[in-house]
Amino acid sequence: MIETSIQLLKNHTDEPTKQMLGNLVERKRKYENYKNKCFRAQFFTFVLVMGFIVYLYAFIIKPTGGQIDVVLHMIFDEELHIFFILLIVGGYATAQYFKKKEDKAESEFQNLRCEVIRKSTELWPQPAQWQNRHEVFTMMKKEFDINLFHESK
């Protein structure tokens, strides 16, 4: 479904270009969605790691005097400790998964964005339409934070 602000462009652009701009907005949203999921997974993992380190120091390392064999024995004898370690590993793996998805979505978005910029002379071939291009690009920047004026991020 194409956004209403893109549909309201009426004579500024044709239907295939509107569809292309709609796809660009969808890919931007997909990228931002994965970016948010990745951040949440990274934050969750960071909080777990920091909490576990503080717990280990306060309740295991400090009371045992830092004896490594006793510390390791206490960590791996308690099921709750192993559960937290598995949660941390799971959080890290989830963050990595979403990071790969984020990178792929960003690449798809940037490729389509650059394609629109490169093909702008074909999409708006007439001089009158070329003037409308600026209005379309300004609307895309204002409404969706998509820069179509330059290829660089």
The pLDDT assigned to 8 comes to: 81
- Residue 9 covered by a domain: no
- Residue 98 covered by a domain: yes
- Residue 74 covered by a domain: yes
Q: Can you spell out the DSSP letters for 51-109?
A: HHHHHHIIIIIHHHTT-HHHHHHHHHH-HHHHHHHHHHHHHHHHHHHHHHHHHHHHHHH
The pLDDT assigned to 73 comes to: 92
Cβ–Cβ under 8 Å, residues 30 and 105: yes
- Residue 5 covered by a domain: no
Can you give the length of the chain in residues?
153
- Residue 1 covered by a domain: no
Cβ–Cβ under 8 Å, residues 4 and 26: no
- Residue 86 covered by a domain: yes
Q: 5 vs 43, 85, 96, 115, 133, CA distance in Å?
A: 35, 48, 35, 21, 15
* Residue span of the structural domain in which 50 resides: 14-144
- Residue 44 covered by a domain: yes
- Residue 94 covered by a domain: yes
- Per residue of the chain (153 residues), what is the pLDDT tens digit? 678 888 887 777 888 888 999 999 999 999 999 999 999 999 999 999 999 999 999 999 999 998 999 999 999 899 999 999 999 999 999 999 999 999 999 999 999 999 999 998 888 887 777 778 888 899 999 999 999 998 887
Split into its structural domains, the chain has a count of 1
